[in-house]
């Protein structure tokens, strides 16, 4: 009898002290138990298993939930030159939800030309529900003032950092530029924090 595990549980026959070695078959008993043990090992997995269906692999994934991954070296921008600025960027995955946060302190060779787009580490699902899932904050060190905004998904791999602008009686999104929301210079800061659904 080949093992049914893990699709279903086996029903093994236990021999009694009065049974002969051929009824039930002694060799078949060993073969059935060996098959079941091997199936159990495959299901549990060896230490540091890379088999995605194994329990060892799944437990490792659960233990890694919420661990922040450094994305600073992979973060790229358009409309912004980091130069000698100080960039810190992290992300973490909880199931298929990606959380991202970052901070850039501009240096003497940093430049904002705008609009400012940032890449994300994991492709997002194509849905308009991704558009408003966080916030930006911009700091003007010369006036010690903070300006708010929201990150907007503009594709499956990019978010745009925007600022809030008063337009008539409405508050709308506006793009960043070299002079907006203030003239960017050394020591000014950009902060972003948002989450999205992975594809």
The pLDDT value given to residue 31: 76
DSSP, res 107: -
- In the block, which residue shows the tokens 């978010």? 159
- In the block, which residue shows the tokens 């409309």? 79
Cα(112)–Cα(185) distance, integer angstroms: 9
Measured over the CA atoms of residue 54, residue 57, residue 60 and residue 64, the dihedral's sign is: negative
Q: Name which of 86, 144, 80, 92 is nearest 120 in CA terms.
A: 92
Q: Average pLDDT for consecutive 10-residue bins of the chain (199 residues)?
A: 79 77 74 79 86 84 81 97 98 91 98 96 79 89 96 91 90 93 97 93
Cβ(79)–Cβ(176) below 8 Å: yes
The pLDDT value given to residue 129: 65
The pLDDT value given to residue 122: 94
Q: What number of CA atoms fall less than 13 Å from residue 114's CA on the CB side?
A: 15
Q: Name which of 72, 118, 117, 124 is nearest 93 in CA terms.
A: 124
pLDDT digits (tens, 9 = 90+) for 55-92: 888 887 777 677 899 999 999 999 999 999 999 999 99
- In the block, which residue shows the tokens 């911009």? 138
Name all domains of the chain by residue range, CATH numbers in brackets. Answer: 26-64 (no CATH), 69-197 (2.60.90)
Please give the angle made by the CA atoms of 121, 110 and 119, to the nearest 5 degrees.
15
Phi, psi angle pair for 172, to nearest 5°: -125, 170
Cα(24)–Cα(15) distance, integer angstroms: 7
Q: Where are the alpha helices (DSSP H) in the chain?
A: 26-44, 55-64
Residue 1: CB atoms within 10 Å: 14
């Amino acid at each position: 009898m080949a093992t049914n595990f893990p699709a279903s549980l086996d029903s093994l026959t236990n021999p009694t002290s009065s049974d002969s070695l051929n009824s039930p078959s002694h060799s078949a008993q060993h073969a059935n138990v060996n098959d079941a043990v091997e199936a159990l090992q495959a299901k549990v997995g060896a230490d540091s298993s890379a088999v995605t269906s194994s329990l060892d692999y799944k437990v490792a994934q659960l233990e890694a939930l919420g661990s922040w991954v450094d994305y600073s070296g992979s973060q790229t921008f358009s409309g912004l030159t980091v130069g000698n600025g100080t960039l810190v960027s992290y992300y973490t995955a909880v199931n298929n939800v990606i959380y991202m946060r970052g901070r850039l302190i501009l240096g003497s060779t940093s430049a904002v030309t705008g609009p400012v787009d940032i890449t994300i580490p994991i492709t997002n699902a194509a849905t308009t529900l991704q558009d408003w899932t966080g916030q930006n904050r911009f700091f003007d060190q010369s006036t010690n003032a903070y300006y708010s905004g929201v990150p907007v998904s503009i594709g499956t791999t990019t978010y745009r950092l925007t600022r809030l602008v008063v337009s008539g009686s409405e508050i709308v999104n506006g793009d960043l530029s070299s002079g907006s929301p203030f003239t960017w210079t050394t020591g000014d800061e950009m902060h972003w924090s948002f989450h999205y659904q992975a594809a």
